[in-house]
Amino acid sequence: MPRPDYSLSLLPDFPVAKKQAYTLTTHNKARVDNYYWMRDDERQNEDVLAHLKAENTYCGAQLAPMKPLQEAIFEELKGRIVKDDNTVPVKDGTYWYHSEVRGDDEYSRHYRSTSMSTDNKSLLLDVNELATGYEFFELGEVALSPCEQLMAYSEDTEGRRIYTVRFKSLLTDEMLDDVLENTEGQIVWANDNKTVFYVKKDLQTLLGFQVFRHELGTKQSQDVMVYEEHDSSFFMGLGKSRDESLIIIDLASTETNDTWVLDANNPKGEFKPLMPREEGHEFDVDKLGDTFYIVTNWQAQNFRLMTATSQTIEDKALWQEHTAHRENVLLEGVELFNDFLVLSEREQGQARCVVVNKHNERMTLEFDDPCYYAAVAMNPEPESKSARIYYSSLTTPGSLYDVDLTTGAKTLLKQQKVLGSFNADDYESERLMVTARDGIKVPVSIVYKKDSFKKDGTNPLFQYGYGAYGYTIDPSFSSTSLSLLDRGFVYVIAHVRGSEMLGRQWYEQGKKEHKQNSFNDFIDVTKALVAQGYGDKNKIFASGGSAGGLLMGAVVNQAPELYCGIGCHVPFLDVLTTMLDESIPLTTNEYDEWGNPNDPAFYNVIEDYSPYDNISEQNYPHMLITTGLHDSQVQYWEPMKWVAKMRELKTDSNILVFKTDMDAGHGGASGRFKSLEEKALEMAFFIALIN
């Protein structure tokens, strides 16, 4: 039987956007943006919508030859998923909670029961019913009252992460009349079982900036604002302390944290600052019993754990050190139990969990893979003598363990089942350290199928990266990547500077004036892997989303010759213009990440790498760009403008396609199967390019 032909060749009738000169002047420097007109905050401009639809039509026509391949991969991805599945029940108070999915359902059903066996389960929420009639649906947070008879949940039906909160009686199974609109999605109950707190969003900037108190049975218009944050560089979140004695307002900018608290037994009281706000002080605090536990960067770049009481929490000089700062170990967090602490740490890029008992004896939980991800899972009850720990590696599907905190003995509760022919022994992972151009060693995680990997420069290679906000992409299992691995691809995660893979300094060396390091690292990893025979220099592909899309945009401007194809998703590409416009959602909170271009020095830094501003007349790789019309974090017009300018200036005949999901936001399509279509699209695109 002849091999199907999925090969792609450029269709000449791509959309050509109109040019309408718009001059932006800052620091006496003028930039002309011919595609500024594409910005429409209301998403109703007919010219904008018509051009997006034209791009979608062209994308469909251009990629039509690979449609059978895309559908085949989609069926592969679906075929690996257990259609009837459930989470492991977790005990919280009187009940055990779990969720289930069945058949072709896109969403879960949430249940509770009086035992782990779930024999007498009762339905709390059917998300499939909630999502009926919506093109997009995301369930936000589900929060039960302390008495366990009332439930609040939040939902987003547009993809802009603006949530509506609804309430249900679990005694009568009836919905309450209370509805809270334009919220951040978090709901925290006071201990009186009738008062909740929530964060309201600024609908222009999409920042949560006000905390309101709502009493059940009253209208939202009667709610009382109990806190307002006037500094727009802070994100706002709500929570409850581990011992449920305090309601907590968490405020976080990129480089500073602040915490306000309220007695959960006195919901009509006033929130008070837990300690003075101090610029540059980053911390996370929780409380159990009489003790506060603070993970802090005070005199500790990689953080340390301190303790305090209600009498000493306001004065750092009175805090007691529990776990000292270490130059080579990043302390990422702590989970509190009555008799134990579980520390989340990272050393040489490897995440780990460390159990500490009351005698300060420490026990590291060990796993066998050369590189893996391990993290504390859901543990609602601090009196427990065991902890749920999640584990995964590039070759080991996600696994949930119950760990005895005294002995370290691990009991496997469940491992993600991968249907089909998957056998973990058929795959191998590696951790490499690649030397970048400035002599710094960059961690690289690699996985491939043993029988198809030659290490002779003949394998296609897919390289993924992110590198921002200190967010680390850990080497964990993905059943979707098997469709590439089984076709001979080598899958690579480049842990570039901008993450915290090698500690806090790794992040600081990939932000603001050091941002170019992220791009250099990614490029240098590609070059090294080709030189070492991991990939065919003519079959190198790369992908990234959001800030990882910025990474892709900068990389293709600076080293386009290295890549055959690029995937760029909900990408942050017009950095300079966005960071100069405080009306755009999230801009002000980003100053400590990218720098504030109102400062001439940072203007110049950003101008030097901003993908949109640095497109030039040169050859570029084949590129697939995707976005969501309702994206609240990276606005749709950034990739739209970038594609239009790229079409104008690039000198090659390579494929450039741009697809906009007219219903989705920053997270892409909703539902467990619909979201797989996006993954199948990218993989089919890459495979077709080497067909």
Active-site residues, by number, are 546, 631, 666
Q: Which residues of 171-205 are buried (b: 16+ CB within 10 A; e: fewer)?
A: eeeeeeebebebbbbbbbbbbbeebbbbbbbeeeb
Q: Which residues of 277-303 are buried (b: 16+ CB within 10 A; e: fewer)?
A: eeeebbbbbbbbeebbbbbbbbebebb
Q: Which residues of 398-435 are buried (b: 16+ CB within 10 A; e: fewer)?
A: bbbbbbebeeeebeeeebbebeeebeeeebebbbbebe
- Is residue 149 within 8 Å of 171, Cβ to Cβ? yes
- Is residue 139 within 8 Å of 130, Cβ to Cβ? yes
Q: How far apart are CA 410 and CA 402, in angstroms?
A: 6
Q: How far apart are CA 394 and CA 431, in angstroms?
A: 11
- Is residue 512 within 8 Å of 603, Cβ to Cβ? no
Please report the sign of the dihedral spanned by the C-alpha atoms of residue 265, residue 266, residue 267, residue 271. Answer: negative
Rg over CA atoms, the chain: 25
Per DSSP, 682 falls in state H
Write out the two tokens for 562.
Answer: 């290295």
DSSP secondary structure letters along 142-163: EEE-TTSSEEEEEEESSSSS-E
Q: Residue 287: helix, strand or coil by DSSP?
A: strand
Q: How far apart are CA 551 and CA 212, in angstroms?
A: 38
Q: How many CB atoms lie within 10 A of CB 326?
A: 15
Rounded to 5°, angle at Cα 405 from 400 and 409:
60
In this structure, the strands spanning 540-545 and 565-569 are parallel
Residue 579 phi/psi, 5° resolution? -75, -10
Please report the sign of the dihedral spanned by the C-alpha atoms of residue 522, residue 523, residue 528, residue 529. Answer: positive
Q: What is the largest CA-CA distance in the chain?
A: 79
In this structure, the strands spanning 410-415 and 427-435 are unpaired
